[in-house]
Amino acid sequence: MQRNILEYLEETVRKYPDKTAFANESMRMTFQEVSDASRSIGTCLLKKGYQKEPVVIYMKKHPHMIAAFWGAVYSGCFYVPMDEEMPAFRIDLIFRNLKPRAVICDETTCEQMKEFRDFDGEVLLYDEIAGESADHGLLGAVREAAIDTDPIYIVFTSGSTGVPKGVAACHRSVIDYVENLTEVLQISEKSVLANQAPLYFDACLKELFSSLKCGATTYLTPRSLFMFPVKLVEFLNEYKINTVCWVVSALTMISSTKTFDKIIPKYLRTVAFGSEVFPIRQFRLWKEALPDARFINLYGPTEATGMSCYYEVDRDFEEGEPIPIGRPFKNTEILLLDENNRVPRPGDPGEICIRGTALTLGYYGDHEKTDEVFVQNPLNPYYHERIYRTGDIGMRNERGELVFLSRKDHQIKHMGHRIELGEIEVHVNRLEGVRSACCIYDKEKEKITLFYTGDAQTKELVVSLRKTLPRYMAPNLVYALEEMPLTANGKIDRVKLLNMAQSKKI
């Protein structure tokens, strides 16, 4: 019985030791090399006394970073991937919550560690620890004692109070996800994937575990290529990529610039997408360019380990019609609940709630926030059963497929990133010279628009914000107002602000 994700790696390295597991444009690691490096790192962490605790992996996006993940898991610790481009302010916030004793760095990030005031632990250099000899006896003993509900990773997601929340997931949930996902995507050792998602989100598990479990090869796509569509497709063709799992905005960047008139990603057979609604006009361009490919919509929150639902597109859609999120993976059930915690009538909207093995362990070091959304199933008064309340509103269509409708709060999806508008507002309100602030999201134009009042100059405000917010959370447009429009109840009038943004009457 499988109870640890590393069993995937161990099985695959037996079958395909010399096959490429993870690669970028300039280097590649075989499964054997990944296995050797991660066992060395695991041994090193153990010998230094780290166990069952968070180990931060703070490296630039690189195959070595992935090997470091498994190294942390070998030691019985859990890895916490960190974005090398994340502002120091945010990293400090995360360190304060996590209190890690060890951080694994590469040559470039190692220098930056000195900037973080809230870290006083040990900095380990990948190149030094990945070469040490592995102690298989020691690693075996750790494995023997490990259980499948131990955490593997913590990934941080936007929090409306201004502090990111760390979602911790365990072996059992990830195994359940990987089995489901690779079956739906039909991943095999012949699959060649191009990763788009940053390694510090759970979205990258799709590629990482396709390689680990099935022996597929994953290429890490340079982030800069997502600005240049023709070069991006050339990259896909050069490495004969046949499978992508990308956010919708990465796909529409290619189709909307009429790239297919020049070049087709001719090896692509499976296109999985998610995180956002795929505009039908753009979807059709993809379908026309790749008539034989399978297109699969994936849906799921980080709190339920990767993805929870899938829908393989099997029919045409009208413009403006949403592509369904379909049905849940095995071992997952989606409950729709109305405001009174009752099941709405068929066709009526309800909050999407998830039950099953996929539920994560909740937010690291924050019972209060965890208990707000991981709650007893209100339909089951008889025994302990947690569900996760996503805050997403959905419905079932006449075919019984799930359809995403909206959010019940101010969380948005922007360029594939999940963002709490409240988190941005907290950062703005902290700045000197700001009296009030409100962020709205113009879905059609995909723009985060910030309105504020006060003496602060727009230019200075933007510069300061970039020091504390990750790039993808920076407002796309910033407007200073004399007065904030208010509703009759004295709340900020978001509808009016949205109208102002859309009509550009500011």
- 258 touches another protein (CB under 8 A): yes
How many chain residues bind another protein (CB under 8 A)? Answer: 31
φ, ψ at 142 (rounded to 5°): -65, -45
- 266 touches another protein (CB under 8 A): no
DSSP H or E run through 33: helix 31-47
Question: In this complex, which beta carbon is closest to another protein, that of residue 340 or of residue 503?
Answer: 503
- 484 touches another protein (CB under 8 A): no
- 261 touches another protein (CB under 8 A): yes
The residue from 51, 112, 458, 487 that contacts another protein (CB under 8 A) is: 458
Number of continuous H segments (helices) and E segments (strands) in the chain: 16, 26
- Taken as a whole, the chain contains a residue count of 506
Query: Binding string, 189-228, against another protein, x = CB under 8 A?
Result: ----------------------------------xx-xxx
Structure tokens at 393: 């509103």
Question: In this complex, which beta carbon is closest to another protein, that of residue 186 or of residue 282?
Answer: 282
Q: At closest approach, how far in Å is the CB of 146 from another protein?
A: 40
The residue from 257, 380, 487, 499 that contacts another protein (CB under 8 A) is: 257
Q: At closest approach, how far in Å is the CB of 256 from another protein?
A: 8
Footprint on residues 276-295 left by another protein (CB under 8 A): none
- 88 touches another protein (CB under 8 A): no
Spacing of C-alpha 145 from chain mean position: 30
- 99 touches another protein (CB under 8 A): no
> How buried is 42 (Cβ within 10 angstroms: 0-12 exposed, 13-18 middle, 19+ buried)?
buried
Question: In this complex, which beta carbon is closest to another protein, that of residue 306 or of residue 475?
Answer: 475
The residue from 476, 485, 492, 498 that contacts another protein (CB under 8 A) is: 476
Q: At closest approach, how far in Å is the CB of 259 from another protein?
A: 4
The span from the CA of 108 to the CA of 345, in Å, is 56
Beta bridge partners of 81: 57
Question: In this complex, which beta carbon is closest to another protein, that of residue 133 or of residue 458?
Answer: 458
The residue from 477, 484, 492, 498 that contacts another protein (CB under 8 A) is: 477
- Whether the Cβ atoms of residue 185 and residue 270 lie closer than 8 Å to each other: yes
The span from the CA of 300 to the CA of 203, in Å, is 10
- Ramachandran region, residue 184 (left: φ > 0; alpha: ψ -120 to 50; beta: rest): alpha
Long-range contact set of residues 478-484: C-beta below 8 Å, sequence gap at least 24? 478/449, 478/450, 478/452, 479/449, 479/450, 479/451, 479/452, 479/506, 480/451, 480/452, 480/453, 480/454, 480/456, 481/451, 481/452, 481/453, 481/506, 482/453, 483/453, 484/436, 484/438, 484/451, 484/453
The residue from 229, 301, 350, 394 that contacts another protein (CB under 8 A) is: 229
Amino acid in the structure at residue 368: E
Which residues of the shown chain bind another protein in the complex (CB under 8 A)?
Answer: 223-224, 226-231, 249-250, 253, 256-259, 261-263, 415, 446-447, 458-459, 462-463, 466, 471-472, 476-478
